[in-house]
Amino acid sequence: MEFARESPVTERRLDIVAARLLEAACCALEGNGPATQAHISRALHLLQNKLEQPQSLLESPQQDSAGALSTWRAQRVAAYIEAHLASTIRVRDLATLVGLSNSYFCHAFKRRYGLTVHVYLTCRRIELAQRLMLATTDSLSDIALSCGMSDQAHFTRAFRRVVGETPNRWRQSRRAALCDAPAPQAPVLRSRDDIPDQARL
């Protein structure tokens, strides 16, 4: 039996939800209650399909703005970007994909996302890199190439600009937080005498 694949937009949203929950866990371990709650709230919003992009990296799409990229065009562009993040993505290719001129496409894209195409692509590549850094033991240089960055130095500069710290420090802090997380305790079984009469079989 074959299961239908999720759309690229849905897969991206679920990846972001997982990243948000991981951030929440890290903040909880650090004792930062407000940040923990913020990450959990954002994950819930994403699960409820209220937003499509992570607040820390990408603004939510302005779907109703005049002159913004239409929904079908945005979906086609998003699918193309997700499929080609590891390679070079040119504005002219995206514009041609949806039948628009370069200048009109750039204007419509920014009206929808509040970001230029270049900044959007950088953010998507950083998000992919974050997932790879947590899910694999690949070197940062390999991850940089897997995310379409020209080299590790370029990747480090972009990551620091978007996230606020170097990739190596980010990876170490998240992994340390995961390793320090206490293992779940087995439930304590109560004796039959401790169970209320109405709960007994």
pLDDT in tens, 125-178: 999 999 999 889 999 999 999 999 989 999 999 999 988 899 999 999 887 776
Q: Read off the pTM.
A: 0.60
Instruction: Quote the distance between the C-alpha of residue 116 and its chain's center.
Output: 18
Max Cα–Cα distance, the chain, nearest Å: 76
Rg (CA), the chain: 21
- Assess whether pLDDT exceeds 70 at residue 64: no
